[in-house]
Chain A
Amino acid sequence: MQEKKKNNTLSIFLGKYGIIVMLLALVLVMTILIPGFLSLRNIQGIFLQGSIYGIMALGVTFIIISGGIDLSAGSLVALAAVVSTSFGQLDTAMNKIFPWCPQLPIWVPFVVALAFGGFLGAVNGLMISRLKLVPWIATLGSYYIARGLALVITAGKPVAQLIPAYNTIGGKIGILPVPVLFFAICMAISWILLNYSKFGCDTFAIGGNMSAARVTGINISKTTILIYTFAGIMYGVAAFVYAGRVLSVNPGAAQNYEMSAISASIIGGTSPMGGKGTIWGVLVGTLILSVIRQGLTLLAVDAYWQQIAEGAIIVIAVIFAMRREKAEL
């Protein structure tokens, strides 16, 4: 009896913290294989790499907890990035989208990125809640439409010659890369929203048991729109930070980032069936992905093989998650 109880505690511990163990194991292996893997520069690199799709993964996590999915995240980031950076170009530059626009301070493209990202998310939410499209169909549509729009309004050319303030966005404060700071702030906001707001509770309710949510009077349609809008705002932040990092935004940018964001969320323990997920899980999931990417790159593993490794990790993480759910029953 005592033995069994102990076993149970261990399995609950592993269930809860298994992904941290997985992350630590990965870091350990990489540290043994790669000299200087734990150097400041490399750690900065790992966090920096993860920050963009980490921010996206925060929004995606709300969506997946509510039982939805968003395939359009990468395209929305690209569209929000080209539109917002058009407000952040030097006045000497030929302004592609808004030629009448004077040179503006950095907060303008920031606000535009968030507002426009939020708007795009709201459109997804409206398609799902009002037109009753299943999330993967609605967002598959916007995946193509947003990418197409980004290409059309830029005529396929990058938006470059950004104002110098963008250098700060992609730079560092002391040892802290600014994109990582953005990620941290977004995480804090998401954490409060998910755990301490009615909106967060409603999100869990919709994904956990939609009919119970309806019976208790939760406005499912409104909450759904809010969830996708919030995710869109996160994509807007990601778009803004992305521009700071690359300083020249290509309409083909952030290709496949939606997959990285979904992966980070799922590896971090968000249930693909909805109703379950945490913000620290997103952090750990994001780090697992970037440790693998950074590590394999440093090990000079062929990029093709990296993809195979990433895919395997996702599948293994979900198998573990399913195992422990069974063990818990």
Chain B
Amino acid sequence: MAEEKFLLEMTGITKEFPGVKALKGVELRVKPGEVHGLLGENGAGKSTMMNCLMGIYQPTSGKIVFDGVERKNYTPKESLEFGISMIQQELSPMQDRSIMANIWLGREPVNKFGLVNWKKMYEDTKRVLEIIDLDEDPKTLMRHLTVAKMQMVEIARAVSYDSRLIIMDEPSSAITEKETQQLFKIIRQLKAEGRSIIYISHKLDEIKEITDRVSVYRDGSYVSSANTDEITQDQIIEMMVGRSVENLFPKVKVPIGDVVLEVKDLCHETLFRNVSFTVRKGEIFGLNGLVGAGRTELMETIFGLRPRKSGTVLFKGKEFNPKCGKDSIDAGMAFITEDRRGNGIFPIQDIEFNSTIANIDTYKGAGRLLNLKKMQKDCAEYIEKIAIKTPSQAQLIKNLSGGNQQKVLVARWLMTAPDIIIMDEPTRGIDVGAKSEIHRLIGELVKEGKSVIMISSELPEVMGMSDRIMVMHEGDMMGIIENDETVTPEMLMELASGIVREEQ
């Protein structure tokens, strides 16, 4: 067999962020004219790898060869120019500009007076839109397009750059089944023109349908590559999750008590349907699923941050209909959100402020003024109790490590004396050592008789910590399983991918 020719060869790619090694010697090889599936759990390093390829990040080390030439230290603009385009998962076009202004952004054609030649741009756009079969006037504002069409415009942009490699990051996550088929049609056409496509998706059926080869990443490392038709979905799943669960510490055995929270047939307008489950005292209830499964949205609805369409929630035996987060907090529920920076910490405030803020009402003393002494005392108590590593409680929270920030947030919610604590991805972006401390903390919470609902994408975490695990897939409840020795990562992955549904 002749030596295989690759359009793209990335080898030994390492990327370090302060405190985190996001990529550890990862590789990727893409042949000309192939659709290459990129797979891995959340946080496996797919996006970081693609950002390195686009020149948005500079890899710490490693080699990138594109089209036979080694490329080093290039900018996103240069990568566009030598033929790599990326269609982001979250499209953010210039909404109030036309299709053509978006496509030719940064390289508008000009006439001999140096003025933008809109007529040429219009004609060129028409031609590009024809290639990808998009019947829209180039002057239409992006605001008036559906997400699927915006995506098509992005593809048109890639074609207009004459890109030989087009990266599509979860392109089907926000479009309908029918639109996905249309997308596949275009992908096949681009492929026939000799272009290569890197297709990132969690949906294994799509991967099977559209890709020629797949590469699998796990925890920032390269696992392996294979031809799609020589591999089964089960094998792909095994490659994605195939790690030992042994390095997790054993779960603390805690007696399980009465039902604290009961959810019956809860529906949201669009995001999830007919979800029912119960959580008991002293239980850690794991909630697993892929991005877009509706896990966070489900919890936000129970917590009163989103309106529910139908269904009932019983909390401590009483009907529970919170209008806002405050109602839930007062009733004894706590919610530690996933996006620590976005809606968790107040970065430029100190630990004391950050730990007491959810509970500030209780510190109102004489004349409605705050009892600062008591706040200091309580804060100090929690720093001690959950071992927050900090020189003092006056330290600004932004100066703490991710793990310690998370602990401050746990302290914040513990001060509200909750009966049930919802934790959304409690250990995301936290290094290994701090992870186990957070896990130990969760163990202690249930020992005190609290209940924990833990949303997590990380299978070892879910399997190592939970008493029971509920798996969701695109808004559907796939099943609730008792977490015993018979549970395997493959089982959970199959449920999360929507391949099989646990019989109820």
The answer to whether B418 has its CB under 8 Å from any CB of chain A is no
Q: How far, in angstroms, from A204 to B143 measured CA to CA in the complex?
A: 15
User: When the two chains form their complex, are residues B108 and A212 in contact, meaning their CB atoms are under 8 A apart?
Assistant: no
Interface core residue of A192, A196, A197 (most chain B CB under 10 Å): A196
Q: What is the distance, in angstroms, from A67's C-beta to the closest C-beta of chain B?
A: 11
Contact call B144/A328, Cβ cutoff below 8 A: yes
Task: Contact check, B75 vs A217: say whether CB atoms are below 8 A apart.
Answer: yes
Query: Which chain B residues border A204 with CB–CB below 8 Å?
Result: 94, 96-97, 101
> Cβ of A213: which chain B residues have Cβ within 8 Å of it?
105-106
Give the docked Cα–Cα distance between A78 and B292 (Å).
56
A204-B97, A204-B101 known; A216 and B92 CB under 8 Å? Answer: no
Instruction: Indicate if B369 sits at the interface (CB-CB under 8 A).
Output: no
The answer on a CB contact under 8 Å between A216 and B80 is: yes
Q: Check: B93 CB closer than 8 A to any chain A CB.
A: yes
Please, how many angstroms separate the alpha-carbon atoms of A218 and B75 in the complex? 11
B226: interface (CB < 8 Å): no
Complex CA distance for A204 and B116, rounded to whole angstroms = 14
CA distance A18 to B421 in the complex (A): 51
Per-residue A-contact encoding for B460-485, CB less than 8 Å = 1, 0 else: 00000000000000000000000000
- Contact: B116 with A200, CB < 8 Å? yes
**Do A201 and B143 have beta carbons less than 8 Å apart?**
no
* Distance between Cα atoms of A211 and B114 in the complex (Å): 25
- With both chains docked as a complex, state the minimum distance between the C-beta of B255 and any C-beta of chain A, in angstroms: 52
Judge if A208 is at the interface, Cβ distance under 8 Å: yes
Cβ contacts A273-294/B at 8 Å (1 or 0 each): 0011000000000000000000
Question: How far in angstroms is the closest Cβ of chain A from B409?
Answer: 28
Distance, CA A212 to CA B105, complexed state (A): 9
Instruction: Say how far A274's CB is from chain B's closest CB, in angstroms.
Output: 9
Complex interface: chain A residues within 8 A of B96 (CB) = 204, 208, 271, 275-276
A195: chain B residues within 8 A (beta carbon): 116, 118
* Neighbouring B residues of A325 by C-beta, 8 Å: 143
**CB of A300 within 8 Å of the partner chain:** no
Most chain-A CB neighbours within 10 Å: which of B93, B96, B97? B96
Q: Check B92 against A211 for contact (C-beta < 8 Å).
A: yes
B110 within 8 A of A: yes
Mask of B77-88 contacts with A, CB within 8 angstroms, 1/0: 110100000000
**Given contacts A208-B97, A271-B96, A276-B96, A201 and B144 within 8 Å (CB-CB):** no
A contact residues, total (Cβ < 8 Å): 26
In the complex, which residues of chain A have a beta carbon less than 8 angstroms from the beta carbon of B80?
Answer: 215-217
Say yes or no: is A255 at the interface (Cβ < 8 Å to chain B): no
Assuming the A-B contacts A198-B108, A201-B105, are A208 and B116 also in contact, with contact meaning beta carbons closer than 8 angstroms in the complex?
A: no
A217 touching B97 in the complex, CB below 8 Å, given contacts A197-B114, A211-B92 = no
A275 pairs with B106, CB closer than 8 A: no
Q: Which chain A residue has the least Cβ–Cβ distance from B116?
A: A196
Evaluate contact between A201 and B56: CB separation under 8 angstroms.
Answer: no
Say if the beta carbon of B95 comes within 8 Å of chain A: yes
Residue of B nearest to A276 (CB): B96
Those of A185-223 within 8 Å (CB) of chain B = 192, 195-198, 200-202, 204-205, 208-209, 211-218
> In chain B, residues 371-402, which have Cβ atoms closer than 8 Å to a Cβ of chain A?
none
Bound state CA distance, A213 and B75, in angstroms?
Answer: 13
Contact check, B92 vs A209: say whether CB atoms are below 8 A apart. yes
Please, which residues of chain A bring their CB within 8 A of the CB of B110? Answer: 198
CA of A214 to CA of B115 in the docked complex: distance in angstroms? 22
Instruction: Answer whether A217 and B143 are a contact pair too, CB < 8 Å, given A196-B118, A212-B105.
Output: no
Residues of B within 8 A of A216 (CB): 76-77, 80, 105-107
With a cutoff of 8 Å between Cβ atoms, the chain A residues found around residue B93 in the complex are 208-209, 212
Q: Which residues of B contact A201 (CB under 8 A)?
A: 101, 105-106, 108, 116
**Is A32 in the interface zone, CB < 8 Å from B?**
no
Please, how many angstroms separate the alpha-carbon atoms of A259 and B391 in the complex?
48
Min CB distance A271 to B, Å, is 7
Please measure, in the bound complex, the distance between the C-alpha atom of A218 and the C-alpha atom of B115, giving whole angstroms. 17
Known: A217-B106, A328-B144, A329-B143. A198 touches B116 (CB 8 A): yes
Q: Which residues of A lie under 8 Å from residue B75 when comparing CB positions?
A: 217
CA distance A320 to B118 in the complex (A): 30
Partner of B106, one of A196, A205, A276, A329: A205
**How far in angstroms is the closest Cβ of chain A from B172?**
22
Nearest-neighbour CB distance to chain B for A299, whole angstroms, equals 37
Sample of 18 more A-B contacts, CB < 8 Å, known A201-B105, A271-B96: A196-B118, A201-B108, A208-B94, A208-B96, A209-B92, A209-B94, A211-B92, A212-B105, A214-B76, A215-B54, A215-B80, A217-B75, A217-B78, A218-B105, A275-B95, A275-B97, A276-B96, A329-B143
16 inter-chain pairs at a CB distance below 8 angstroms, sorted by A residue, are A195-B118, A196-B118, A197-B114, A197-B116, A198-B108, A198-B116, A202-B106, A204-B97, A208-B93, A209-B92, A212-B94, A217-B78, A217-B106, A275-B97, A328-B143, A328-B144
A-B pairs, 10 with minimum CB distance? A217-B77, A208-B94, A216-B106, A276-B96, A196-B115, A215-B76, A196-B116, A216-B105, A201-B108, A218-B106
